[in-house]
Structure 1
Amino acid sequence: MDPLTLGLLALGAALLGTMIGVPVAISLGLTGLVGLWGVGGFTLVTTTLETLPHDALSDYSFVVIPMFILMGVLASHAKVTNDIYEACYRFMAHVKGSLYMVTVISSAGFATISGSTIVSSAVFTRLALPEMIRFGYNPGLSAGCIAAAGTFATLIPPSIMMVIYALLTGESIGRLLIAGAIPGFLTAAVYLAALWGLVRMRPQLSSPLEKRFTWPERRQSLTKVGPFVILSVVVIGGIYTGLIFPSSAGAVGAIGALALAVWRGVAQPGKIQSCLNDTASTAAALFLVLLGGLLFSRYLVFSGFIFDAVDFITDSGIAPWQVLMLIIIGNLILGMFIDTVSITVVTVPFIHPIIVGLGYDPIWFGILLIKLVEISAITPPVGLNLFAVMAASDGKVETGDLFRGVLPFLLLELLVLLALLTFPDLSLWLPRLVLGS
């Protein structure tokens, strides 16, 4: 068979394995190894296994993943989310539909120190959903708001998914993290504007009773979030100003989160050990998935699939924008059935060279892809954030209500995606400003 056919068969086998429940690391890794055996025999397989895992995972850039995870776990353990939520609520309580908006703002704030959408969704489900239901908010829309706002962690730095994309493609981690800021906060702003209008058109979706806090009460709540703001400014500001390398920013953030836990008196040895265990297990799982993706990518390169695919698309006469639309539609469809990490690791190794070959900016495309990952996380029936909310809700929300409640946010996400497609500078202006061309 020609390389193009072999590559498509391998891609189909990897996707099929993932869809029927085979762990994505195993599905990708085995497919890649079988393909390498077919291309170069047993010698190529053994050589790859002897060199690739060590060469890839010993890269210093990989340290950013466990450090960002540890920072988020420690910050969550220190109850930072509670303080952010309380401060936002005191300033927004008098606004109609305030709990929806507070959830959006708090999730955006927490995203600046946590790169995990699942953690954000689970934490805010336990924190906000009971209050929303108690005050008469629509349960489905409330749960949908929490799940959708949790996705901010994929775009607002530090984002673990951006690091994974950068490591799979060789793109700059720092440039990607900076590029995600404006699209991430733009998404939050669109959510706020839409919710403000929605609760006025349909008042029954929120509570008729809103509360007011005095300015001294509001200022008091700000004192508790001061350390969190400092931590966010140090980590994100350090990356933007160039004072801290992206690979070091995670370590600085983890140390800051540990100091925050110590300051709040929640840094008992047993709890710190639990945080380290959670970090290690999460990072190890991600590393296995990355390793499987790298093995699969290595096969695509050795088989000649990448080069043939680029040549085929270039010679076919298909316009670059049509190829881009096909990739976007394909990712949206895959997002209905496959988890976000699997989609990224399976598709990026062959999509990225095609996009670069067609002349598109790889950083801009990276932000588009992360936005598609964000949409996948809340797309029924397999959106990971939806599962996280259902698991953390303790039966307070029915699955059907959650699926209906998240639909408005899916439409808003598609609107932001269209804006990112139409105006590339939303993603590229800030990296150019900070890092130059």
Structure 2
Amino acid sequence: MEHLYLTVLFLFTLFFLLGTGVWVGLALMGVAYVGMELFTTRPAGEAMVTTIWGASSSWTLTALPLFIWMGEILYRTRLSEDMFRGLAPFMSRLPGGLLHTNVVGCTIFAAVSGSSAATLTTVGKMSIPELRKRGYPEGMIIGTLAGSATLGLMIPPSLTLIVYGVSINESISKLFMAGIVPGLVLASLFMAYVALWSVFKKDQVPPREPAMSLGAKLWEARFLMPVIALVLFVIGSMYLGFATATEAAAFGVLGALVLSALQGSLSFKTFTDALMGAVRTSAMVALILAGASFLSLSMGFTGLPRQLAEWIADMQFTPTMLIMALLVFYIILGCFLDGISSVVLTMAIVEPMIRQAGIDVIWFGIFVVVVVEMAQITPPIGFNLFVLQGMTPHQMNYIAKTAIPMFLIMVVMVFILIGFPELATWLPDNMSARP
């Protein structure tokens, strides 16, 4: 029963600190400090300083601010307008019409930003006015955008996958490779939903856009070429083994600067805004990771992860039963914490469980990302819902209701991953990449 008392104490301290408005990173440090003081003889202050410095000076973590900066640069260029112009001719003849630009636009931008919020804001600025102008239903515009923007968490370079890889000391490149196929499958499911909606709600579908010749479509597609080239350059350099994740991120920043300069939208203000935006986001994530690292050390000293792992083993959960329990756990947790916080907060306890159960840690990383994607569109702390509330005149309950079908599609995606784990493991197992 000792592990139960420890768990209750940790959770009570954590939720007390979070409930008082303390930043997540500081709340994690507070919980760890309490654990070190009450249950170990090691000086808590010395351990905290050493651990935070070690977590913050990780070379692997360098990729995180660089990918964030790349996304910030592109977010402040004319990329959104160009992307819609390039996509619209190819999407207009599909069942569901231009609603597919939400899904495909988010898929493409996710591959250069890694951030759900940046993906949502950029594609939303592009698509919402255009889709409204053409008479698409508001609920479908908002719902498909809310769900599709979560692809920023899975399709490389995903900030959540970087955080997960750093937390469990796993190859970032392998995790990125593992996210490609599931990300594309999830995007396909979103597009299938849009197509089915157009079949069953024909009265709500606006008239089709005028037909265009193939030559005209290809001419409009020139607006997509720069961002597609950047995606292939950044992602390809990792998968072909030419660059580590950190080196690819540095190439991405240079590529984004060149792209925005060629567009004529790179100014001193754009540069400084992008830099400061990246600094703010990176500092937030670094603080959370530092707190989580100290919490992992504290839990290690108390023996809690080992006791919980033994408790799970004694209950003789099958791997599938454990995954189902973790699915429910992460969905509930996602109602109160953002995705990155959910990952770093739980890995110290969950990692020993999944390793003992024989679950592939690469596959589990993709599973976790799909589940924390759900957290982006579940009230009361669904971050995408807050972003959409700021971009549209709608109330939170309306936006959350429009996102319910996308949430259910993500649940279906979890079961597809469980049934076909090769979706996540085949690429990393069969392609060589530098760690």
Provide the TM-score with structure 1 as the length reference.
0.95
Which of residues 419, 422, 431 in structure 2 aligns to 1:422? 419
Which position in structure 2 is the counterpart of 1:24?
24
Contact 1:141 1:402 in 2 (8 A): no
Alpha-carbon distance between aligned partners in 1 of 2:264 and 2:75, rounded to the nearest angstrom: 14
Contact 1:19 1:338 in 2 (8 A): no
Alpha-carbon distance between aligned partners in 2 of 1:180 and 1:21, rounded to the nearest angstrom: 34
Alpha-carbon distance between aligned partners in 1 of 2:19 and 2:180, rounded to the nearest angstrom: 32
Letter in 2 for 1:212: A
Which position in structure 2 is the counterpart of 1:60?
59
Measured against aligned partners, the alpha-carbon deviations of 1:124-158 in whole angstroms (never above 9, x if no partner) come to 22221122222221112211111111011111000
Letter in 2 for 1:123: T
Deviation at 1:8, TM superposition (A): 3.8
Deviation at 1:387, TM superposition (A): 1.0
Contact 2:101 2:127 in 1 (8 A): no
Measured against aligned partners, the alpha-carbon deviations of 1:17-55 in whole angstroms (never above 9, x if no partner) come to 3355432112111111111112235x5212213311222
Deviation at 1:386, TM superposition (A): 1.2
Which position in structure 1 is the counterpart of 2:251?
252
Aligned pair 1:432/2:429, yes or no?
Answer: yes
Which position in structure 2 is the counterpart of 1:381?
380
Aligned pair 1:300/2:302, yes or no?
Answer: no
Aligned pair 1:167/2:178, yes or no?
Answer: no
Which position in structure 2 is the counterpart of 1:410?
407
Which position in structure 1 is the counterpart of 2:35?
35
Which position in structure 2 is the counterpart of 1:127?
126
Contact 1:310 1:357 in 2 (8 A): yes
Letter in 1 for 2:161: M
Which of residues 394, 399, 410 in structure 1 aligns to 2:396? 399
Contact 1:141 1:404 in 2 (8 A): no
Measured against aligned partners, the alpha-carbon deviations of 1:2-27 in whole angstroms (never above 9, x if no partner) come to 34521342034324533554321121
Which position in structure 2 is the counterpart of 1:312?
311
Measured against aligned partners, the alpha-carbon deviations of 1:261-298 in whole angstroms (never above 9, x if no partner) come to 11112222222111111111110011001111111111
Alignment CA distance shift 1:138-1:17 (3 Å): farther
Aligned pair 1:190/2:186, yes or no?
Answer: no
Superposition pairs for residues 76-225 of structure 1, below 5 Å? 76-225=75-224
Alignment CA distance shift 1:358-1:19 (3 Å): farther
Alpha-carbon distance between aligned partners in 2 of 1:336 and 1:270, rounded to the nearest angstrom: 37
Identify the range of structure 1 (340-349 vs 113-122) with the bigger mean alpha-carbon deviation.
Answer: 340-349
SS at match of 1:293: helix
Identify the range of structure 1 (211-220 vs 249-258) with the bigger mean alpha-carbon deviation.
Answer: 211-220
Alpha-carbon distance between aligned partners in 2 of 1:171 and 1:44, rounded to the nearest angstrom: 29
Alpha-carbon distance between aligned partners in 1 of 2:173 and 2:271, rounded to the nearest angstrom: 29
Contact 1:19 1:337 in 2 (8 A): no
Identify the range of structure 1 (149-158 vs 344-353) with the bigger mean alpha-carbon deviation.
Answer: 344-353
SS at match of 2:113: coil
Contact 2:234 2:252 in 1 (8 A): yes
Deviation at 1:169, TM superposition (A): 1.0
Letter in 1 for 2:92: A
Alpha-carbon distance between aligned partners in 2 of 1:323 and 1:96, rounded to the nearest angstrom: 39
Alpha-carbon distance between aligned partners in 2 of 1:135 and 1:271, rounded to the nearest angstrom: 31
Alpha-carbon distance between aligned partners in 2 of 1:3 and 1:407, rounded to the nearest angstrom: 37
Alpha-carbon distance between aligned partners in 1 of 2:99 and 2:191, rounded to the nearest angstrom: 8
Which position in structure 2 is the counterpart of 1:11?
11
Alignment CA distance shift 1:205-1:5 (3 Å): farther
Identify the range of structure 1 (348-357 vs 157-166) with the bigger mean alpha-carbon deviation.
Answer: 348-357
Identical-pair percentage: 27
Identify the range of structure 1 (212-221 vs 267-276) with the bigger mean alpha-carbon deviation.
Answer: 212-221
Q: Extract unaligned runs of 5+ from structure 2.
A: none
Contact 2:175 2:362 in 1 (8 A): yes
Alpha-carbon distance between aligned partners in 1 of 2:133 and 2:19, rounded to the nearest angstrom: 38
Identify the range of structure 1 (313-322 vs 69-78) with the bigger mean alpha-carbon deviation.
Answer: 313-322
Measured against aligned partners, the alpha-carbon deviations of 1:370-424 in whole angstroms (never above 9, x if no partner) come to 110111111233211111111122x1x3433322211111111111111001111
Measured against aligned partners, the alpha-carbon deviations of 1:346-382 in whole angstroms (never above 9, x if no partner) come to 1122111111111111111111001101111112332
Alignment: residue pair count: 433
Which position in structure 2 is the counterpart of 1:333?
332
Alpha-carbon distance between aligned partners in 2 of 1:101 and 1:348, rounded to the nearest angstrom: 35
Deviation at 1:106, TM superposition (A): 1.0
Alpha-carbon distance between aligned partners in 1 of 2:326 and 2:19, rounded to the nearest angstrom: 19
Provide the TM-score with structure 2 as the length reference.
0.95
Which position in structure 1 is the counterpart of 2:273?
274
Which position in structure 2 is the counterpart of 1:288?
287
SS at match of 2:112: coil
SS at match of 2:211: coil
SS at match of 1:112: helix
Superposition pairs for residues 339-350 of structure 1, below 5 Å? 339-350=338-349
Alpha-carbon distance between aligned partners in 2 of 1:11 and 1:401, rounded to the nearest angstrom: 32
Identify the range of structure 1 (337-346 vs 364-373) with the bigger mean alpha-carbon deviation.
Answer: 337-346
Identify the range of structure 1 (156-165 vs 120-129) with the bigger mean alpha-carbon deviation.
Answer: 120-129
